[in-house]
Structure 1
Amino acid sequence: MSVDLACAEPAFLDLTMVGLDRIPKPGEERLAQDFLRSPGGGAITAVGAARLGLSSSLTSPLGDDAVGMLLRTLLADEGVRWDGRLVERTPVTVIMPTDGDRAMATFDPGESVTATELGAVEPRAVVLSIPRLPLAPAGARTYVSVGDLDARALAGRELPAELSTARALLVNEREALLLSGAPDAQTAAAQLARAAPLAIVTLGPEGALAAGAEGTVHVEGVAVEAVDTTGAGDLFAAAYVWADHWGAALEQRLRWAVLYASLSVRVATAVAGAVTLRALLEEGAGYGLTSPVRQPAMKEDQ
């Protein structure tokens, strides 16, 4: 059975230390006020999409271990399908948020989805990173991300030709500058749009901008008090795909995605901050946004 969105990036169990007054220095111990476990990595986008009413699948492998069992249970509770394969171990990230930023340490055994596994899901859209771009099924809308490690590896190099088939390239400002070598985000977006039909650069509290076949658009950020910025980009992607799924214009897609990502940083962990469709639409109305979701036609006697 096909799904609206398949998330092909590795999924992690995020272990978040909440309430640190600052990041510990080498040899130093700091006390957290709480400790939380939640889906991370590609699972964040999958959960965000599900909460916005899309059918979503996580296609990345998970371990046949206690961590993987917990992640599969958390995903099932969110209505997210898991269509990956069992491997030996599950990736884990320890997150220490403080002062609107965070430090992270990650263990990743390096397992990845295959083209066969991704194609078997029959996704209408897929979110994956540049290294996995060749795995995208034919006919699926492809939204491409770039992690920090990949951005550094690709800095100064020609971007892959496959990007020309993507629906959009979604990167943050740091990644955009690394990939393009440009001095600022607007120039970077314009340069990246030569490789992808649409390049979108997220700017944190400053919003987001896009350049490409649909023109150049910049939308302002949403003022919130940031507690934990982990996963904001993953949820930006989820909301962008959701708005694009319903045919929203570029500016509206950006505004909905910026709002969704901004709302998520108000609490610890990305999944805790990923609001439901109803909550997003209510917040959006306060910013003058009109729901892109098409309601079913009513019968005459209703």
Structure 2
Amino acid sequence: MTVDIACAEPAFLDLTLVGLDQIPRPGEERLAEDFLRSPGGGAITAIGAARLGLTSSLVSPLGDDGVGMMLRSMLADEGVRWDGRMVQRTPVTVIMPTDGDRAMATFDPGEGVTGAELAAAEPRSVVLSIPRLPLAPAGARTYVSVGDLDARALAGGELPDMGGSRALLVNEREAQLLTGAGDPERAAAQLAEVAPLAIVTLGPDGALAVGAEGTVRVEGVAVEAVDTTGAGDLFAAAYVWADHWGAALEQRLRWAVLYASLSVRVATATAGAVTLRALLEEGAGYGLPSPVRQPAAMKEDQ
């Protein structure tokens, strides 16, 4: 059955140590105030999209282990369809947020989605990284991302042609790694040479887009950041949601910036991913017109 969005990036179980006063140095132990478990990686975008009323699928391998069982249960609770295959082990990330940023350590067994699995989900839109771009199903709107590891691996090399994609979404650090440019404006302009629309997120300073639809920059939303984990994944979820409803570029960026900004106020990305009703109420306070053009079932805030 067709879904509005399929997320093809690996899903992790995020293990978050909350309340650290700073990241431990080598040989040093520090105490956290709490310990949380939540879906991570591609599951963050899938859950964010589902909370915004899109039908959502995670097409990512999950292990036949306790971690995988937990993630599949969490996805089902969110109304996210899992269309991946069963493998031996599930990826895990340990996250240590502090001072508005975070450090992460990850175990990834290296299993990835296949083109056949992604096509079988029948997505209208798909979110996947640059290395997985060839797996995008024909006819699906393709939104391309890149993580820190991939950005470092691709740094200094020739980027693939992303002309068939809808947009490339990267953060400022990733953009500068990919291009070698010294500022986000030049980095976005260079990325727009290989993608029809290059979007660079700027953290608290908003986002910048360069491409066929022109050059647009939107301001950030002032919030107190507790945990920035997954903010880029939720930016992608809200951007696809706004594009799904036909919003203009500036409005897509503003909704995505708002959604990502609201998420960093609490620990873990999924705890910060607000529902459609909450996002529309927040957007109204910023003068954002709703892009939803027909009645949609809005989930009650969780």
Q: In the alignment, is residue 121 of structure 1 matched against residue 121 of structure 2?
A: yes
TM-superposed deviation, 1:94:
0.4
Pairing of 1:19-30 with structure 2 (within 5 A): 19-30=19-30
Pairing of 1:118-157 with structure 2 (within 5 A): 118-157=118-157
1:99 alignment partner AA: D
Distance 1:14 1:26 in 2: 22
Distance 2:188 2:28 in 1: 41
2:209 alignment partner AA: A
Which residue of 2 is the match for residue 106 of structure 1?
A: 106
Distance 1:203 1:52 in 2: 23
Which residue of 1 is the match for residue 300 of structure 2?
A: none
Which residue of 1 is the match for residue 191 of structure 2?
A: 192
Listed one character per residue, the Cα deviations across residues 98-145 of structure 1 (whole Å, up to 9, x for unaligned) are 110111110000000000000000000000000000000000000000
TM-superposed deviation, 1:149:
1.2
Distance 1:157 1:25 in 2: 33
- Find the residue that maps to 1:164 and give its secondary structure: coil
- Find the residue that maps to 1:23 and give its secondary structure: coil
TM-superposed deviation, 1:296:
4.2
Distance 1:96 1:251 in 2: 33
Distance 2:79 2:96 in 1: 28
What TM-score do you get using the length of structure 2 for normalisation? 0.97
TM-superposed deviation, 1:181:
1.4
Distance 1:175 1:20 in 2: 26
Distance 1:112 1:24 in 2: 32
1:249 alignment partner AA: A
RMSD: 0.8
Which residue of 2 is the match for residue 203 of structure 1?
A: 202
Which residue of 1 is the match for residue 36 of structure 2?
A: 36
Which residue of 2 is the match for residue 292 of structure 1?
A: 291
Which residue of 1 is the match for residue 271 of structure 2?
A: 272
Q: In the alignment, is residue 60 of structure 1 matched against residue 69 of structure 2?
A: no
Which residue of 2 is the match for residue 300 of structure 1?
A: none
Which residue of 1 is the match for residue 229 of structure 2?
A: 230
Listed one character per residue, the Cα deviations across residues 228-274 of structure 1 (whole Å, up to 9, x for unaligned) are 00000000000000000000000000000000000000000000000
Distance 1:18 1:193 in 2: 38
- Find the residue that maps to 2:214 and give its secondary structure: coil
1:5 alignment partner AA: I
1:71 alignment partner AA: L
Which residue of 2 is the match for residue 97 of structure 1?
A: 97
- Find the residue that maps to 2:38 and give its secondary structure: strand
TM-superposed deviation, 1:180:
1.2
Which residue of 2 is the match for residue 76 of structure 1?
A: 76
Q: Which runs of 4+ in 1 moved over 3 A?
A: none
- State how many pairs are aligned: 296
What TM-score do you get using the length of structure 1 for normalisation? 0.97
TM-superposed deviation, 1:155:
1.3
Distance 2:104 2:192 in 1: 31
Distance 2:94 2:205 in 1: 27
- Find the residue that maps to 1:257 and give its secondary structure: helix
Distance 1:72 1:296 in 2: 30
Identity %: 86
Distance 1:30 1:178 in 2: 32
1:38 alignment partner AA: S
Between 1:180-189 and 1:82-91, the stretch displaced more is 180-189
TM-superposed deviation, 1:28:
1.1
Which residue of 2 is the match for residue 212 of structure 1?
A: 211
TM-superposed deviation, 1:295:
1.8
Distance 2:85 2:115 in 1: 13
